[in-house]
Amino acid sequence: MSYDEMLAAAKKAVSLAARLSNEVRKSLLVSDVWNKSDDSPVTVADYGSQAVVSIVLERELKNENEPVSLVAEEDSAELRKVAAETVLARITELVKDTLASDESYASSPLSSDDVLTAIDSGKSEGGPKGRHWVLDPIGGTRGFIRGEQYAIGLALLVEGKVVLGVMACPKLPLASTAAGINANKSSPEKVGCLFFGAVGTGAYVQSLNALDSPPVKVEVSSNDDPAKASFFESYHTPVPIHNTIATKLGIKESPIKINSQTKYAALSRGDGEVYLRFTRKARPESIWNHAAGSILVSEAGGKVTDAAGNPLDFSKGKYLDYKRGIVVTTQKLLPRLLKAVRESLKEEEEEEEKAASLKLH
């Protein structure tokens, strides 16, 4: 099967998952949201989206000679802890209704056990060999709950390299503008983007609500003046090094805070020039949070590296092998940005050493 055919299957899976998430979002119930054992929020849409993508990939790729390997965020263990038959029944109905909205799946029976099996098909570990799909079923769950930006990201790894990616951004305006990303003022028909790209072919976007509309090629910003650049970061406890890096680079604007991989999508079409993802403490980064977004930016002419300037390594399993932070930007700004990163990290290290020395005395 060609990458074009696999990309078509991925677009179908992601667009249907987005349809399910939109239905949940229209009437989000208190019982639709709970916290997992790690205290992170999860919703029926996270599980429903994962089940839909799993089922669609299995059916669309059934003529392949190997089973579908899916690396995904959720598993049914957390769902079973809720121990509520009504929750599972709601997820099952959501999945059934979503699949039924596509003519090719309209007559397919589906039980709750089928849905649990589909969710648990995402337990692959990935790795450097073979072919693995990587799914973020609802990226930015907190944003989803608040009615803000979220994304559904699906990518394909082949021999440890990302070769194609699809991302639905149901709340992202079709019009490209950094200022309008979080405005929520666009009319419904002008909101909802489906981004996609495959290695060597470029990145594209089309309306999520009109998939027969012609795709438009996207490219990163041509701006090479940091003073005019916009930079993205996640909603989280402030990370001081972000501001240090931005100041050294010469960025004057305050950061634009966006949930999920939507930041990658926005940067790929030129809504901003820099996305920084550093944390106060070192922690593992799941590959599903970056796989789809990284290839979109790369195919749009941008660069995605770790803090040392190395390409992200998706070949080590469920977690990235990377140095300290993640840097996403344009090719024009990358050298200056990495210089600012190096200087900022060195200053941070010196401050920590000074603080440790004072404690000893």
The one catalytic residue in 43, 98, 141, 305 is: 141
Close Cβ partners of 52 (under 8 Å, ≥ 6 residues apart): 13, 16, 17, 20, 95, 98, 99, 118
| Residue whose pair of structure tokens reads 């926005």 in the numeric block | 266
Amino acid letter, 186: S
End-to-end CA distance of the chain: 66
DSSP state of 310: P
Catalytic residue check, 46: yes
Q: Find out whether 165 and 291 touch, Cβ atoms under 8 Å.
A: yes
313 marked among binding-site residues: no
Residue 282 φ/ψ, nearest 5 degrees: -60, 135
Q: Sign of the C-alpha dihedral, residues 255, 252, 295, 316? A: negative
Q: Say how many C-beta atoms besides its own lie within 10 A of residue 20's C-beta.
A: 27
73 marked among binding-site residues: yes
Write the burial class of residue 30 (CB in 10 Å: 0-12 exposed, 13-18 middle, 19+ buried).
exposed
Alpha carbons 39 and 72: distance in angstroms, whole number: 18
Length of the chain: 361
Distance of CA 200 to the CA centre of its chain: 21
Catalytic residue check, 237: no
Of the candidates 272, 291, 42, 15, the residue with the CA atom closest to the CA atom of residue 142: 42
Q: Say how many C-beta atoms besides its own lie within 10 A of residue 212's C-beta.
A: 6
The one catalytic residue in 32, 43, 46, 306 is: 46
Active site residues: 46, 141
Q: Which residues are annotated as a binding site?
A: 73, 136, 138
Q: Which residues are annotated as a binding site for Mg(2+)?
A: 73, 136, 138
